[in-house]
Structure formats: structure tokens, C-alpha cells
Amino acid sequence: MAGLSAGQTLETALKTSRLLRPSRWPLEQALAKAAGASGVFLHLPAHRRGAGRPPSAVALPWPYDLPELPEIGGPLERDGAIADSQQQVAQGLGAERSWYGVNGASGLLQACLLAAAQRPGQLLLPRNLHRSLLHGCALAGVTPSLYSPPIDPLTGLWQPLPPEQLERLLQQVGPVSLLVLVSPTYQGLASDLPALVAIAHRYGVAVLVDEAHGGHFGFDSSLPVCALAAGADLVVHSVHKSLGGLGQSAALHAQGAAFAPAALEQSLGWLQTSSPSAVLMLSAEQAYRHHCSATGRRQLRGRLQQARALREQLLAAGIPLLMNDDPLRLLLHTGAWGCSGAEADAWLLGRGVIAECPELLSLTFCLGLGPSRGVGRQLLKALQQLRQANGGPPLPPLQPPPFPLISPLALSPKQAWAQLSEVVPLGQASGRIAAELLCPYPPGIPVVLPGERLEAERLEWLQQQQRLWAGQIPDTVRVLV
């Protein structure tokens, strides 16, 4: 499967593909063969294919933890099982090239920025970027421009970028080397990617989609259009967040002529380890193999049906869930009960209910790919107890942050991090340039960026957030001297 034809979805393409038989996935075959071979193995890792593992170590695929042997290769090698595996993934998704990453989506996003920095024009990043993108700008020595997607005051959540807003953005800014879109968000809110990518391409702008939380999009027709099918030039998946891989497993997919594979591989080589974990890459291969198979698509369809049934069960019991585009993310509107997401998260955590992402007025639960049948009764009971223990008048709507449509930085993040700085109270920082990130985690989205000039309106907004965040935002900020 060389790529998706016009109007073709990933799901329909996989149904007709003959390339995705389980026996054709190469990395597992190569590792299994190497792990079962006999010989004298005097190479790293130091556990010597598991023979020297700690006696108390839990069961792990130690014999599969192999270096870049000739038959296995590596993510940037032309030959070997990993190269074949990456090609298989690209064929399965309709991309032209795919690369595994073992430093999470963060390392792959940063590599994309390094490659984009070699092109003329500026980087256009969203205010709700993951902090790894800002680190990538510092590594590349570039000063990005930031655009502000809308925020819903009732929920406190960043909303998808409307196509008409992107049109206005691109009319106002100069040449752009790369537009970064986040879709879906941590909370499962998806953008109209076909419209956004079409607008960007009409202006000659390449598009990178941070699809870390949406790797499963495209494998079922009830989910939003995936970024590759929408025509994005670069797409990054966090395989462990949305496809069932091990932690740190990720993949970068490329298509089109905007980025030469050699330029991307050069940037990947700067940021990825020279000793990549074969086990992590194997978990990525197995995750993609499973989702590309008919069995995997049936399982995903079943998980989505269970998730929708759970949502209806909770709504019928009066639990205030917010609308989103990914059924595998449940989004509790804690503000309706008079408590912040952070307060609700702390209360539930003490009772064995572990959520994923607390926000100002909401709390996100990730159902993932595990079965959710049977979860409803326990979750409903815990949420009802939360309401009884913490319920009160609804919290007031969030005051939207005073961000302009486009925010240029006063200094590059690299310059801001390198200069002398001091810590001052938020109320005394008006007119100063921030020297550090203010970045509650999760979700890892900065509210202050290094190199950004802090004006009085912003500082007043930050002080309001500090009260709502219950300690997540400090009452001081580090600024340049």
C-alpha cells in the first residue's frame, strides 16, 4: 500500500491490503531468531541477553534486548529488520516514510523542529503546545511565533483551532516554515484537520501534527480523520499513549515533498540515542501490527462501544461529562461540582481511583485499550462520593487569558534560558521578560514561556490561575535581570 488515494480512509485501505499479514512483520521475526540462536555473545547490553540480569528482576523479554546487530539494524539504518519494520508501518498507514523513536513523542517533535529550522520562514506554534516543542526551539536556536486557539471559559479547556482563524493567522504573518497543530488534545478534542491542512498548503506552509494522543484515529470510521489521511506532512504518534506500546515508544511519519528524508534523519540522529532499545521498537511494531489487522480493528471497535456505553451510564446517573471526540477519554466537568480538577484528582487518588489529567475545571480519565466493561460501577460510586464530599456551587467561568492572536517572543527561549535572572513576585514582574517555563504537569502545557514579556494583564490572569490551581502555579516568576 503506497499511500492513501483521494477520499480513501485508512480503515478501508487496510481491509483491501494484502501486505499486512502477521507473518510479514519483520522485527519480531528477527529478534525471535536472534534470541533463540546459540553462540558466544560478548556484546552489550551488559545483561548478556538476559544471562546476567539481576536475580530478583521481574520477567522481561531480556533475550530480545539486543543491540544494532547487522540483521536487526536501527531506526536510521537502510538495512535490517528495523528498516523493514518501519517500511511496513509506513505502508500500513499510507505514509511514505516512518521512523521509530525511543525517546517518546517529545524527541520526535524536537527533531521535526530542527529539520524545519533549516527552511526559510518562521515556526508557528500553538499556545497549548507540549513543552517539548519549546525545548526543540531552544535546541534549534529559533524564536517561534505563538498563536492562540480559543479557550472555552465554562470548561477552561483549549478548543480546536477553527479553520477561519488559521486563515486570518496566515494572512497576518510573514513566511512560515512549519505550522504545528495539536490534534487531538490531551482531553480528546480533535481539529478539522482536512480543512486546516488544506488552508496551510494553499499558503505553501508545511504542517506537523502532534497526534500523540490520537494514534488510534483512522482505524475506525467512527473516529475523526487521522492526520495522515488529512494530508499532514509530518505526524508524530506516542505509541504508548494511544496504541498500546511500551512507555517511550513513538513513531514519526512523513509524506509529501516538504521534508527530504535525509534532513529528517539528520535531525533524528542528533536527538535519538545511538543505542535504541529493540524491545521498545518491538512494542511499537506489535502495536501497529495489531491495529492494522482485522482482529485489532474489531477489538478497537469493541472498546469504543464499551466506552460509549460507560459514558451513557455515567450521564444517566447525573455525572457531568463534557463532550469530546475520543470515546476513550472521559472528561469530568469538576467545575460543575464546585471543585477544581486538581482537588478532585487528589481526593480520588486517595481512594484508589487514578485519573490522568487534572485541569482547572475538569479531570480526564483515559480508558485506553483495556476493557471498560465492569469499570462503570466502581467509577460511578467513587464519583458520587466525590460529589457528596466536595460538591458545592459551580465554579465561575474562567477568565480567558489575555493572549493576542499571534504572540512573538521578545527573546528566543535559548537566549532567555542563558541570561542572568532573578525571582520576583508575580505582582512585581510587569514589563519583565520571563526566564523560565511556568508549566503545570500534566498536561505539560506552558502558561508562561521563556523569552516572553510579561504585561500587567497577563500577571493579573496568572494570579487568578494560581488561586484556581491550588498550588500548581507559584506566586513568583523568574525574570531576566
- Among 294, 319, 352, the domain-final residue is 294
Residue 112 scores a pLDDT above 50: yes
The reply to whether 153 and 274 lie within a common domain is yes
* pLDDT confidence tier of residue 21, bands split at 50, 70 and 90: low
Average pLDDT, the chain: 88
Angle subtended at Cα 479 by Cα 478 and Cα 481, rounded to the nearest 5 degrees = 125
Which pLDDT value is given to residue 99?
Answer: 98
Which pLDDT value is given to residue 378?
Answer: 87
Centre a 10 Å sphere on the Cβ of residue 176 and count the other Cβ atoms it contains. Answer: 22
The reply to whether 261 and 357 lie within a common domain is no
Alpha helices in 235-340 (DSSP H): 239-242, 261-271, 278-292, 294-316
**In-domain check, residue 447:** yes
As a whole number of angstroms, the distance between CA 179 and CA 235 comes to 12
* pLDDT confidence tier of residue 62, bands split at 50, 70 and 90: confident
| AA identity, residue 320 | P
More confident residue, 359 or 260: 260
CATH of the domain at 290: 3.40.640.10
The reply to whether 331 and 269 lie within a common domain is no
Cα 188 from chain centre: 11
Cα–Cα distances in angstroms (integers) from residue 390 to residues 84, 339, 460, 461, in the given order? 54, 7, 27, 25
Got the DSSP string for 381-410?
A: HHHHHHHHHH--SPPPPPPPP---SEEE-S
CB neighbour list of residue 344: distance below 8 Å, 6 or more residues apart: 332, 334, 337, 355, 358, 363, 386, 390
CATH of the domain at 304: 3.90.1150.150
The reply to whether 371 and 438 lie within a common domain is no
**In-domain check, residue 460:** yes
The reply to whether 151 and 51 lie within a common domain is yes
Residue 20 scores a pLDDT above 80: no
As a whole number of angstroms, the distance between CA 282 and CA 65 comes to 10
* pLDDT confidence tier of residue 373, bands split at 50, 70 and 90: confident
The reply to whether 306 and 257 lie within a common domain is no
**In-domain check, residue 165:** yes
Q: At what angle do helices 278-292 and 294-316 cross, to 10 degrees?
A: 80
**In-domain check, residue 401:** no
Greatest C-alpha distance within the chain = 70
Which pLDDT value is given to residue 181?
Answer: 98
**In-domain check, residue 135:** yes
The reply to whether 101 and 138 lie within a common domain is yes
The reply to whether 32 and 146 lie within a common domain is yes
Which pLDDT tens digit goes with each residue over 117-139? 999 999 999 988 888 998 999 99
Residue 29 scores a pLDDT above 70: yes
Residue 441 scores a pLDDT above 80: no
In this structure, what are the phi and psi dihedrals at residue 116, rounded to the nearest 5 degrees?
-70, -30
More confident residue, 340 or 182: 182
**In-domain check, residue 144:** yes
As a whole number of angstroms, the distance between CA 317 and CA 382 comes to 12
The reply to whether 365 and 431 lie within a common domain is no
Strand locations in 25-184 (E): 97-101, 122-126, 145-147, 151-152, 157-158, 176-182
- Given a contact cutoff of 8 angstroms between Cβ atoms, the answer to whether 195 and 165 are in contact is no
Which pLDDT value is given to residue 391?
Answer: 79
CATH of the domain at 449: 3.90.100.10
Residue 450 scores a pLDDT above 60: yes
Which pLDDT value is given to residue 1?
Answer: 47
**In-domain check, residue 430:** yes
Which pLDDT value is given to residue 470?
Answer: 57
The reply to whether 375 and 450 lie within a common domain is no
Which pLDDT tens digit goes with each residue over 75-84? 999 999 999 9
Q: 368 lies in which domain range?
A: 299-390
Collapsed DSSP state (helix, strand, coil) of residue 329: strand
Considering only 28-42, 210-224, 412-426, which range has the smallest mean pLDDT?
Answer: 28-42
As a whole number of angstroms, the distance between CA 148 and CA 166 comes to 10
Which pLDDT tens digit goes with each residue over 299-354? 999 999 999 999 999 999 999 999 999 999 999 999 999 998 989 999 998 888 88
Considering only 74-78, 279-283, 336-340, 439-443, which range has the smallest mean pLDDT?
Answer: 439-443
**In-domain check, residue 10:** no
Which pLDDT value is given to residue 480?
Answer: 96
Which pLDDT value is given to residue 23?
Answer: 61
The reply to whether 215 and 78 lie within a common domain is yes
Which pLDDT value is given to residue 50?
Answer: 75
- Given a contact cutoff of 8 angstroms between Cβ atoms, the answer to whether 426 and 466 are in contact is yes
As a whole number of angstroms, the distance between CA 200 and CA 147 comes to 14
Which pLDDT value is given to residue 44?
Answer: 57
* Joined grid coordinates for residue 455: 504585561
- Among 257, 273, 294, the domain-final residue is 294
Total domain count for the chain?
3
Collapsed DSSP state (helix, strand, coil) of residue 198: helix
Alpha helices in 94-192 (DSSP H): 104-116, 131-140, 163-172
- Among 359, 390, 421, the domain-final residue is 390
Percent of the chain with pLDDT over 90: 58
In this structure, what are the phi and psi dihedrals at residue 445, rounded to the nearest 5 degrees?
-100, 120
The reply to whether 279 and 377 lie within a common domain is no
Helix (H) or strand (E) holding 376: helix 375-390
